């Protein structure tokens, strides 16, 4: 199933489970009802901002909207098979969703383009970043840190934060952690 159809099916399922109309979801997320209808039908090209707005509005992890839960003992995810979620400065790819002991982790790869700054209003969870190549400037909670290859940074993502590639493109890994006591309510393979 393609990413657009997965998002559409998951969006409709999460909305139905919560008994929320398209109009109510539009009000909560700030996304036009027509756009939501398009997304649910599997068409449209959602941005990072759109998907995170839907995640926040529904109180579910991003992976509840973007992924089917793999069940095999050996899981191989090919980069070429992962759909790209683009924002102002970032191309984000959800590689895997993991649910250990009631918590939840989402593993992403991200490419940060040097021509813009990616802003986020905040979302649940803790972001863990590891830079693979390039130099990444991260601003969160009034602090700015610059990371190079191999550097690691973590922060609570509830407040506004932003990313900027400093001297050319950046490739990094993002692990989004929802601790067991703070995981957004939402169906995954092991709970309903």
- State the CATH number of the domain containing residue 22: 1.10.260.40
- Exposure string (b/e) for 137-163, b if CB count within 10 Å is 16 or more? bbbbeeeeeebeeeeebebebeeebeb
Cβ atoms of residues 187 and 64 within 8 Å: yes
Q: What is the mean pLDDT of residues 84-91?
A: 92
Residues 6+ apart with CB under 8 A from 15: 21, 22, 25, 40, 58
Parent domain of 108: 79-178
Q: Are residues 9 and 87 in the same domain?
A: no
User: Which alpha helices (H) appear in 19-142, and where do they start and end?
Assistant: 22-29, 33-40, 48-58, 62-66
On average, the pLDDT of the chain sits at: 85
Q: How far apart are the first and last CA of the chain?
A: 22
Q: Of 66, 91, 111, at which residue does a domain stop? A: 66
Number of domains composing the chain: 2
Residue 125 covered by a domain: yes
Residue 121 covered by a domain: yes
Of the listed ranges 35-39, 122-126, 148-152, 188-192, the least confidently predicted one is 188-192
Q: Of 19, 45, 66, at which residue does a domain stop? A: 66
Q: What is the mean pLDDT of residues 12-22?
A: 88
Q: Of 24, 45, 66, at which residue does a domain stop? A: 66
């Amino acid at each position: 199933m393609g990413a657009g159809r997965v998002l559409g099916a998951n969006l409709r399922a999460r909305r139905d489970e919560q008994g929320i109309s398209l109009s109510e979801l539009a009000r909560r997320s700030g996304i036009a009802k027509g756009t939501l209808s398009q997304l649910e039908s599997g068409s449209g090209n959602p941005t990072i901002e759109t998907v995170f707005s839907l995640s926040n509005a529904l109180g579910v992890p991003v992976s509840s909207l973007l992924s089917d839960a793999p069940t095999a003992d050996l899981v191989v995810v090919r980069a070429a098979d992962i759909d790209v979620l683009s924002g102002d400065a970032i191309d984000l790819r959800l590689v895997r969703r993991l649910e250990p002991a009631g918590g939840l982790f989402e593993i992403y790869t991200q490419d940060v383009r040097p021509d813009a700054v990616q802003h986020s209003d905040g979302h649940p969870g803790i972001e863990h970043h590891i830079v693979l190549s390039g130099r990444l400037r991260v601003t969160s909670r009034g602090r700015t840190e610059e990371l190079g290859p191999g550097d690691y940074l973590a922060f609570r993502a509830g407040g506004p934060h932003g990313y900027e590639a400093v001297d050319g493109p950046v490739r990094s890994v993002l692990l989004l952690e929802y601790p067991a006591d703070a995981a957004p309510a939402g169906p995954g393979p092991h709970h309903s």
